[in-house]
Structure formats: C-alpha cells, structure tokens
Amino acid sequence: MAVLSRAVTRVDYDEFGLFHENAEEFGLPYDGPPTVRREAVDVAPGRRLSALVWGTGDPELVLLHGGAQNAHTWDTVALALDRPLVAVDLPGHGHSDDPARPRSLAQDAADVAAAVRALAPRAHAVVGMSLGGLTALALAAHDPELVRSLVLVDITPTVTAAKAAAITAFVDGPASFADFDEILARTIEHNPTRSVSSLRRGILHNAAQQADGSWIWRYARQRGPGGDHQIGPDFAGQWETISGLTVPLLLVRGIAVGSVVDDDDEAEMLRRQPDAEVARVDGAGHSVQGDQPVALARLIDQFAP
C-alpha cells in the first residue's frame, strides 16, 4: 500500500534581511542594511549567551527582551536609535543555550553580566522589558558597576498572574504548529493591534521550521509569566533593589490594553525612587518596543544621551 507524504513548503529566512521592512513600516530612513553581527559569549562550561551587536563603536546601550521573546524584538528601536548597542538573547531564548532548570533571576543576571562585560562594559544604560527588566534589576543588585542608568519597560516587581494572564495564555499555547499559517493565525489572534507584517517578522525571528514543515518556538518551553521564574517573592523582593538604586531610573509604561503596570505600581516606584522618571506611551500595551518603537527610542535617547 502506497504511503502518501505531504509536500513540505519551506519558508525562506535571512536573519539580517528584514530590516528594510522594519524601517518602511515605521517611516524610518533606510540607506541600506545596518551594521549588525551576532556574537556569542561563554557564560558556563559548554553554554553560551548570544547577542546582536549593532554598529561598530563602543556599545552605549544594553537591551534585554521579555520572556518568550528574543533580541530581534528591538530591531525597530535599534534602527530608530542609530547608536552602537547590544541586544541580548536571554538564557533559553533566541540563539542562547538553554540552562538547567529551575532557574532564578540572579542566575540569569549572572549570565547577562558575563555578556555585558565581554560586549558592552561601558554602556550608558541597561534597558529591560518585562522579564528583561526584572533581570536588569537583578543585574543592578549583583553587578551594579554594569548598570549606570536603568530603563524598565512596562514592568515593576508587582507584576501579578492576573495582570499577565493574556501573556501566559499565549506562551502556554501549543508546543508546535502544522505550518506557518497556523502559527501566524495564533499570533495575530493574541496581538490584534499589531500589523500582520510585524508579526510575521517576529515569528521568523522567534520560531524555527522543522524537517516535516511544522514550526516550534525558539524559546524553551517554560511555564508561568517570565518562564520558570514564578510570580511571587522572587519578583516582589526586587522592590528593595529599586529602593537601593543610586543611578538614574526611567519607567516606561504602556497605557493600552495589555500593559502589566498600573497607577499603583507607578506610585510605589516614585515612593521608593522620588527622582525616577515615568513616561506613559499612548498606543502601547505591554510590548512597547513592538507597539510604539520610535516613541520608545526617543525616550531612551533623551534619558541616556
């Protein structure tokens, strides 16, 4: 009896071939491909952290993405900034190796510290979104010499399971998808305010096609907002880190549906750091870098010139 096999449609992907789409979508000047390279730093025996290094000068910024994302989430922000910087793939995300689990924020921060020392030891600021922001706080606590100023993007230590429910529902979805159309449809369903073109780019950067034509996410299968860093004392204890900060601090929060920062969080931030700056971004939910990347780039430029 003959066995019929389904023809596999391969999707072409060039990691550095999509920047013109980012620029066109957000009205940024584009004179040709930017100077970007991928670097890897040894952080433990047999394990490396990967990062995108933008520009040829001494990196001025370190960008840390959120849970279940990767360094390419910052592409449009990096194009708008047009400054030398490093965007890191957190452990178990993007092209970084997956560490043994369970895992703490302090352990992630130690890996990031090794990458920052190797690639951007004199950076003016560390910018962290969601899990990346919590990791940046842990970095400030354990390696304060690497954090000269800090930008938290839509995150405070008071993130709760209820606030992050929509994010969790997406991250905890199917482990694989039969084809690209299926993974794109699910992504569109959970990101109704984003353009299809931007979501398509995001999938190509954050998922991988298998030999049978199916697709899986690049990030390690983790449970709970922030992956295996469960909401609770590991996060809430970071308010003390914020209280102890002696460097400039900026909180950028989205005010559209999906943000995990509310007015009480903002008030607590200012109670603990009265000199902190707060910026609210119209038209942005939780992923400010995806919803309003040019506005975010402008805020970063003003805060860490």
- Number of C-beta neighbours around residue 213 at 10 A: 16
Total-model pTM: 0.94
What average pLDDT does this structure show over 51-77? 97
How far is 294 from 298, CA to CA, in rounded Å?
6
Q: Is the pLDDT of residue 267 over 60?
A: yes
Residues recognised as catalytic = 130, 154, 286
How far is 57 from 69, CA to CA, in rounded Å?
26
Q: For residue 257, which phi and psi values (nearest 5 degrees)?
A: -60, 135
The tens digit of pLDDT for each residue in 144-176 reads: 999 999 999 999 999 988 888 888 889 889 989
Query: Which CATH architecture describes the domain 19-160+223-303?
Result: 3-Layer(aba) Sandwich (3.40)
Rg of the chain (C-alpha set): 19
Q: Nearest CA to 51 among 14, 23, 88, 80?
A: 88
How far is 146 from 123, CA to CA, in rounded Å?
7
Q: Residue 77: exposed, middle, or buried by beta-carbon count in 10 A (0-12, 13-18, 19+)? A: buried
Q: What pLDDT score was predicted for residue 193? A: 78
The tens digit of pLDDT for each residue in 215-248 reads: 999 987 643 444 445 554 468 789 999 999 999 9
What average pLDDT does this structure show over 119-124? 98
Which DSSP string do the residues of 104-170 spell out, in sequence order? -HHHHHHHHHHHHHHH-TT-SEEEEETHHHHHHHHHHHH-GGG-SSEEEES--TT--TTTTHHHHHH
How far is 183 from 187, CA to CA, in rounded Å?
6
Q: What pLDDT score was predicted for residue 101? A: 80
Q: Is the pLDDT of residue 77 over 90?
A: yes
What average pLDDT does this structure show over 131-135? 96
Q: Is the pLDDT of residue 192 over 90?
A: no
7 pLDDT tier (thresholds 50, 70, 90): low
The tens digit of pLDDT for each residue in 9-39 reads: 888 899 999 999 999 999 999 999 999 999 9
- For residue 177 the two structure tokens come to 């998808």
In the chain, pLDDT over 90 holds for what percent of residues? Answer: 81
How far is 305 from 303, CA to CA, in rounded Å?
6
Q: What pLDDT score was predicted for residue 6? A: 58
Q: What pLDDT score was predicted for residue 103? A: 85
How far is 156 from 112, CA to CA, in rounded Å?
19
197 pLDDT tier (thresholds 50, 70, 90): very high
The tens digit of pLDDT for each residue in 86-114 reads: 999 999 999 999 998 888 899 999 999 99
In the chain, pLDDT over 70 holds for what percent of residues? Answer: 93
Q: What pLDDT score was predicted for residue 129? A: 98
What average pLDDT does this structure show over 111-132? 98
5 pLDDT tier (thresholds 50, 70, 90): low
Q: Is the pLDDT of residue 271 over 90?
A: yes
Buried b / exposed e along 154-183 (16+ C-beta atoms within 10 A)? bbbbbbeeebbebbbeebeeeeebebbeeb
What average pLDDT does this structure show over 196-215? 96
